[in-house]
Structures are given as C-alpha cells and as structure tokens.
Amino acid sequence: MPKPVVPEEKRRRRRPTKSGTVLSERLIVETALRMLREHGSAGLTARRLGLALDADPSTLYRYFRGMDELTLAIGDALIGQALQGWEPAGEWREDLRAVGLRIHAAYVAHPQAAVLTTNRVTGRANELAADEAVLDILRSAGFPLGDTVRIYHAFIDQTLAFAALDAASLALPSDSLRADEGMWRSTYARLPRSSHPRIAEAAPLLANLMVTSAYPTALEMLLDSVAGQREALR
C-alpha cells in the first residue's frame, strides 16, 4: 500500500538535507527534469533522485506517493512552463495558436520528459488551467458546447501527439537522429523517377521539410477547419 503523502505544512517543518537544501515539490520536479535531460527515463529512479538531492530516497515519498505521481507532476510542470506569462488576446484563432505552440514548445524543450508524460492525464493545476483556457476560448468565440468539446479534443490531442513525435526524435541518440535526418538526402533524393516518380520530383522539398516539425502546418489546418465551422454557425 502506498504511503500517505504528508501535507505541505508538515513538510516545511522538515530539517534541511545534509547539504543544507530545503526540499520542496518544485525542487524535486526540477531535479527530476534535469536528470531526465541528462540520463533519460531509465536514469530516473528514487535512489538516484535522492542522491541528486542529497536526501534519503524515502524522503521523496513525503511529497509523492510514488514515481508515477512524480511523473504526473513533471508533466504538469511542463504545461505550467508553457502557460507562464501567457494572456489571452481576445481573438480565438490567435489565442488557440499561441496556446498550442507554447505547449508543443515546452514539451519539445524537454524531450525525455515529453516522451514520458505526453500521454498522461495529470488532473493537476496547470493541466486544468490549460484545459479551462482552451474551452473558454472556444465558448467565448460562440461555439456550441458540443462543438467546443469536439474541437478541444482534436486540438489538445493533435498538440500532444506532435509533441510526442517530435520529442521522441530529439530523444534519440545523436548518431541515430543524424542518420534518420540524413536518410532524406542519402536515399530518398537518389530514387529514380522510373520507379518512384512522385518521390523523385518531391525529393528536394522533402529533404528540407521532413527534418522539421509539421506541427505549425497541422495546427493551421486545424484552425482553418475550425474557422470554417464558425462561419457556418453564422
């Protein structure tokens, strides 16, 4: 049975670690993000995290019921980074674009953490704030509730799916990433028109585009579709 999480006010009474560090949920999450960046998901364990914090690993369970709950906190922290400083401009398309690009960028900036968290539902404050913001943008734009939920579903899943895809590429070993990107020039660009005419004619464009994220293009396509639906409501 998991240990009960100690209330925040009781955690603050804890003595500092041997190095004088006062633990907090935020510090643990930030340290976990650094460890993921440096060592990948396989390197994130309670023992290693405890060593990095100069604390007994069991101390972590005063803040999180287990490593899975820490994973959810990491995912929520990324969404918090995405929303930091953002304010709605009052124009639905501009606001949706900004939220989507911010969330995607926050995950891609931490690829190892993104691979671990993009498919999770945290139920935490930052995730709830993001969901509330997207739903409010759509409802304030005049979309009926059913359409709002359907668009929200497509928008959020598209954003997270591209974040996961792009992050997974960035999380590859550098040699593998370079080999994948080079394939567009070393193989696709050399295919003969006689056997692969469509690839051959598109090869120069493919070599330039396929090594970048398609998320901005896909996002605009989604926003175009949403705009068309909005026009139909008038």
Judge if 86 and 199 occupy the same domain. Answer: yes
Judge if 200 and 155 occupy the same domain. Answer: yes
Give how far Cα 74 sits from Cα of 140, 145, 148, 157, Å. Answer: 30, 31, 28, 19
**Distance of alpha carbon 91 from alpha carbon 174, whole angstroms:** 40
In the listed set 43, 65, 87, which residue is the last one of a domain according to the structure? 65
| Alpha helices (H) along the chain | 8-11, 25-39, 46-53, 67-83, 92-108, 111-117, 125-140, 145-170, 174-186, 197-209, 215-233
Whether residue 17 is predicted with pLDDT greater than 80 in this model: the reply is: no
pLDDT score at 18: 60
User: Are the C-beta atoms of 31 and 71 separated by less than 8 Å?
Assistant: no
CATH number of residue 137's parent domain: 1.10.357.10
The whole-number average pLDDT for the span 102-125 is: 96
- Domain presence at residue 1: no
Judge if 176 and 129 occupy the same domain. Answer: yes
Judge if 54 and 87 occupy the same domain. Answer: no
User: Are the C-beta atoms of 162 and 213 separated by less than 8 Å?
Assistant: yes
Radius of gyration of the chain (CA): 22
The SS3 call for residue 5 is: coil
Judge if 92 and 196 occupy the same domain. Answer: yes
- Domain presence at residue 3: no
Judge if 125 and 85 occupy the same domain. Answer: yes
- Give the pair of three-digit tokens for residue 220: 């605009």
**How far from the centroid of its chain's Cα atoms is residue 102's Cα?**
9
**Distance of alpha carbon 14 from alpha carbon 56, whole angstroms:** 13
Judge if 117 and 15 occupy the same domain. Answer: no
User: Are the C-beta atoms of 55 and 77 separated by less than 8 Å?
Assistant: no
Judge if 120 and 227 occupy the same domain. Answer: yes
On the 0-12 / 13-18 / 19+ scale of CB atoms within 10 A, 60 is buried
- Domain presence at residue 70: no
Tens digits of residue pLDDT in 177-229: 999 999 999 999 999 999 999 999 999 999 999 999 999 999 999 999 999 99
Judge if 214 and 110 occupy the same domain. Answer: yes
pLDDT score at 12: 43
- Domain presence at residue 107: yes
**How far from the centroid of its chain's Cα atoms is residue 96's Cα?**
16
Judge if 26 and 60 occupy the same domain. Answer: yes
- Domain presence at residue 136: yes
Q: Which residues contact 73 (CB under 8 A, 6 or more apart)?
A: 25, 28, 29, 64, 122, 124
Report the range of poorest mean pLDDT among 17-21, 78-82, 155-159. 17-21
CB atoms within 10 A of CB 108: 20
Number of domains observed in the structure of the chain: 2
- Domain presence at residue 2: no
Judge if 48 and 85 occupy the same domain. Answer: no
**Distance of alpha carbon 80 from alpha carbon 23, whole angstroms:** 20
- Domain presence at residue 99: yes
Judge if 100 and 216 occupy the same domain. Answer: yes
Tens digits of residue pLDDT in 40-64: 888 899 999 999 999 988 888 899 9
pLDDT score at 21: 72
Q: Which domain holds residue 216?
A: 75-233
In the listed set 34, 65, 96, which residue is the last one of a domain according to the structure? 65
CATH number of residue 13's parent domain: 1.10.10.60
pTM, whole model, 2 decimals?
0.88
